[in-house]
Amino acid sequence: MPNKAIHEVNRRSWNEGTKAHNSHKGDQAAFFRAGGNTLFPEERSLLGNIAGEALLHLQCNCGQDSLSIARHLGATVTGVDISDEAIRVARQLSRDSGIQASFHRADIYDFFAEASAVYDTVFSSYGALCWLSDLAAWGRGIAGCLKPAGRFVLLDFHPAFAMLDEEWRLRHDYMGGVRHEFESGVGDYVALTGAAAEIESLLPGIRDFKNPHPGVEFQWGVAEVATALIDAGLQLSHLAEYNYCNGFKPMSDMVDLGGRRYAMPARLPQSFPLMFSLVAELKR
């Protein structure tokens, strides 16, 4: 069963964290009006030609990637996120940029219960899996949203990466949905990552942000993620691991590869997985 009480804790934490993140990003509507695009080559290529298709973006936060997909890939986009602040900003950004997309504030598990099989593609990326309290229900929910032969596209940070602390020391379990509660809540990773933020002119914004609300994350292994989708009736057509990480630099000594991409420091093994991607199709 999804743990709705924990999701509410995370909603409060994301509301505050999102304000801190946006405080660094300047005029995002102007960025989009000028043709800005927050997508990385990996998700662009995984999504492929989706012009004219209906796409559901799960855990879309403030919708920057949703709007980029609508504008640059030509899909009709629906974004869903639990955070009130994220959805408020997403709607405002859509209005101010003139890019059409619809945004719903909801726990994805509630959204799944109401949704029907109208989407050609369901998409989720960068920091989504760790907030899911029930992976089997997530897989079933995605299957229920897809049209027959529809696709799910996922690109996320690797669970092996999430086992490590800022000094590259092992700190968490790998799998099993093991829960990690942290008093410090959703942090200001935009300020931490600096130039990795999608809007390049990073503003000082809120300094020394301290989230008043705690957060709760879950550790799911890659096989558990794939199994949840397979059990829900999807068929894997792609699975890949990457030894670099897009737009996120939690360890200060990560190597900057350019293009908002970061890799392992030279003193450590180079083939360590930092992201993974997966595509699965509904067999109906």
Query: Which residues here bind ligand SAM, judged by CB under 6 A?
Result: 7, 10, 14, 59-61, 64-65, 81-83, 86, 107-108, 125-128, 131
Closest CB to ligand SAM among residues 28, 83: 83
- Considering the complex, what minimum distance in angstroms separates the CB of residue 89 from ligand SAM? 10
d(CA 114, CA 181): 29
**Tokens standing for 7?**
């999701």
Closest to ligand SAM by CB, 7 or 261: 7
Nearest CA to 65 among 128, 125, 153? 125
Q: How far is the CB of 46 from ligand SAM (least distance, A)?
A: 13
Q: Least distance to ligand SAM from the beta carbon of 108, Å?
A: 4
Residue 107 beta carbon to ligand SAM: minimum distance, rounded to whole angstroms: 4
Question: Cβ 148 to ligand SAM, closest distance in Å?
Answer: 25
Residue 196, C-beta contacts closer than 8 angstroms, at least 6 positions apart: 247, 248, 249, 260, 262
For residues 123 and 47, give the distance between their C-alpha atoms in angstroms, rounded to a whole number.
Answer: 8
The residue (of 82 and 264) whose beta carbon lies closer to ligand SAM is: 82
The CA distance from 268 to 8, in Å, is 38
Alpha-carbon gap, residue 150 to 282, rounded angstroms:
6
Burial (CB < 10 A; 0-12, 13-18, 19+), residue 181, is: exposed
Nearer to ligand SAM, 56 or 280 (CB): 56
Nearer to ligand SAM, 77 or 284 (CB): 77
Closest residue to ligand SAM, Cβ-based?
127
